[in-house]
Every structure is written in C-alpha cells, then in structure tokens.
C-alpha cells in the first residue's frame, strides 16, 4: 500500500495535507525518514507520523465508560463530546454507536464500522441493552408487569416488552422516608429518552441511569468513568457472532 494511502486510511488528516507532511519529513518507515508519498509500505512495517506510531487498521472499536456531562456526538461547538475522551491522535471517522443522554453514564461503543453499528442498532436485531437505574418511587409488581406487557408511553410510542428487576430499595441519604428503588432494565429498542419516558409513564422519575451492557458486550468494571480501551478480539468476535445470528 502507498504511504499516503496508509496514513489517510487512518484519517489523521486530509490526503493532501498528509502528502505535504510526508514531503516535509514528518513520517518514518522502519526508522527511516521517507519523503515519497508513493512509497510502498512493506507488510508489518513500523510507521510513525509526527513521532507517533501509526498502525494501519480498517476498523477500530473502543469501549468507553461514559461519564455524566458529556455529549454522545461526534462534535459540538461548545460542549465536550465522547470523542474528546479518546486518547492521542484519533481518526476522524469514529462515532458513538447510538446515543446515551448527557446525564447517562456507562457503556458506549465507539467505532468507524458503520455496518456493525447499523446492525447493532436495527430494531429487528433485538440486541438487548441492560441499564441500572435509581428510581424515585417504590417500583413493585405493578411496574414490572407494565414493562413486561409493553408499556404505552404516549400517543406516539408503545414500548416493546421490557425486563424490569428490583435490586434493592436503598435508604435516601438526602430525605428520610423517601422511596427509592435500584432497578435493572433490559430493552432492545433505543428510542429518545426511552427509559426515562417509560418510568414517567408509570409516574416515577429516573434519578440516575447507567448502561451496563449491549448484547454480548459488558462494561469493563476496571474502566473508571471517562476511561476507554480497545475491544479485545474475544469481545469483537462475540459481537460479530451476535449480529450475524440476528
């Protein structure tokens, strides 16, 4: 593969800027400065751009533990986005797979693999997403049954049957006697504010919301909020298996 294509596939800059950078001497191949954009990069060669190693990959996959206060978007003029949390020199074609609300935390997959994203998000793929939420109110059998049987959220949206499990009824440190419920919810849709709207439809409020998993992909408990890492080959294989079956 030509050196300029090798670098531009990684979306580090426009092809013409990368050609200029090569001519200026910003690129090395196996430790040697190369000024010819047409140079054929040998298989397995070590390439650096502005002193940083660049490995050619068609697709990249990151798991992010999204913190609250960050937008699930690719760019924003004023606010920080989830892409700002990726380390180092990042390619420009990455995007989050689906959206979490600004105040929602937890698992977010970031990739440039549009086909995988589309298959994971397509309603007919029925990929389960599991969330943990702190609810203002006492969630009980009435709400569990309402979620299980397909909740009418409003005149435009009836949710597909969803799983709702009560984990505990924690004490409220701020207001004695206030009913709180820690719950786990499983949905396979991804409508705007879906979980918050489902709880509002049963007269309750979501205080905090965190995504724990998406299909076979589980939030790594070693990732603190704001941290990300590449998916492992096993995680990637499991996701690919899942979407092939659906």
- The reply to whether 4 belongs to the active site is no
Of 19 and 129, the one with the shorter C-beta distance to ligand URA is 129
* Strand positions, DSSP E, 137-179: 152-154, 157-158, 163-168
Query: Of 19-27, 59-67, 82-90, 192-200, which part binds ligand URA (CB under 6 A)?
Result: 192-200
Q: Is residue 196 at the binding interface for ligand URA, with CB under 6 A as the rule?
A: yes
Count of all residues that appear for the chain in the document: 246
Distances, alpha carbon 194 to alpha carbons 51, 110, 132, 162, in Å: 45, 21, 14, 11
* Strand positions, DSSP E, 69-218: 95-96, 105-111, 129-136, 152-154, 157-158, 163-168, 180-187, 205-214, 217-218
Of 188 and 193, the one with the shorter C-beta distance to ligand URA is 193
Q: How far is the CB of 107 from ligand URA (least distance, A)?
A: 11
Q: Is residue 225 at the binding interface for ligand URA, with CB under 6 A as the rule?
A: no
Among residues 4, 194, 239, 242, the one that binds ligand URA under rule CB under 6 A: 194
Q: Is residue 209 at the binding interface for ligand URA, with CB under 6 A as the rule?
A: yes
Q: Which helix (H) or strand (E) holds 54?
A: strand 52-54
Q: Which helix (H) or strand (E) holds 145?
A: helix 141-148
Give the CA radius of gyration of the chain. 22
d(CA 24, CA 44): 24
Q: Is residue 100 at the binding interface for ligand URA, with CB under 6 A as the rule?
A: yes
- Which value, to the nearest 10 degrees, does the dihedral of the CA atoms of residues 224, 98, 120, 86 take? -40
Of 3 and 209, the one with the shorter C-beta distance to ligand URA is 209
Among residues 27, 85, 135, 195, the one that binds ligand URA under rule CB under 6 A: 195
* Active-site residue, from 36, 101, 128, 172: 101
Burial group, residue 218, by CB count within 10 angstroms (0-12, 13-18, 19+): middle
Of 10 and 107, the one with the shorter C-beta distance to ligand URA is 107
Report residue 223 as tokens: 């990732």
Among residues 9, 101, 189, 220, the one that binds ligand URA under rule CB under 6 A: 101
Q: How far is the CB of 153 from ligand URA (least distance, A)?
A: 11
Query: Of 17-25, 35-43, 99-107, 146-154, which part binds ligand URA (CB under 6 A)?
Result: 99-107
Find out whether 83 and 75 touch, Cβ atoms under 8 Å.
yes
d(CA 199, CA 181): 12
Among residues 193, 207, 218, 238, the one that binds ligand URA under rule CB under 6 A: 193
Q: Is residue 105 at the binding interface for ligand URA, with CB under 6 A as the rule?
A: no
Which residues are at the interface with ligand URA (CB under 6 A)? 100-101, 104, 193-196, 209
The residues annotated with a catalytic role in the active site are: 101
């Amino acid at each position: 593969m030509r050196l300029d294509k090798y670098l531009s596939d990684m979306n580090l800059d426009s092809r013409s800027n990368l050609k200029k950078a090569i001519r200026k001497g910003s690129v090395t191949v196996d430790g040697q400065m190369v000024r010819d954009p047409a140079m054929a990069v040998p298989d397995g060669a070590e390439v650096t751009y502005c002193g940083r190693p660049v490995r050619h990959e068609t697709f990249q996959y990151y798991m992010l533990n999204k913190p609250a206060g960050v937008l699930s978007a690719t760019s924003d003029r004023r606010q920080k986005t989830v892409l700002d949390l990726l380390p180092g020199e990042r390619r420009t074609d990455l995007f989050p797979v689906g959206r979490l609300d600004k105040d929602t935390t937890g698992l977010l997959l970031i990739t440039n693999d549009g086909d995988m994203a589309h298959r994971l998000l397509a309603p007919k793929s029925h990929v389960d997403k599991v969330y943990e939420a702190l609810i203002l109110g006492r969630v009980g059998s009435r709400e569990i049954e309402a979620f299980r049987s397909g909740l009418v959220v409003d005149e435009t949206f009836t949710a597909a049957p969803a799983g709702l499990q009560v984990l505990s009824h924690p004490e409220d440190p701020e207001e004695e006697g206030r009913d709180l419920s820690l719950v786990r919810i499983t949905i396979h849709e991804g409508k705007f504010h879906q979980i918050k709207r489902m709880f509002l439809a049963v007269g309750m409020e979501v205080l905090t919301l965190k995504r724990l998993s998406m299909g076979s992909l589980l939030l790594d408990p070693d990732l603190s909020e704001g941290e990300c890492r590449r998916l492992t080959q096993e995680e990637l294989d499991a996701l690919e298996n899942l979407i092939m079956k659906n």
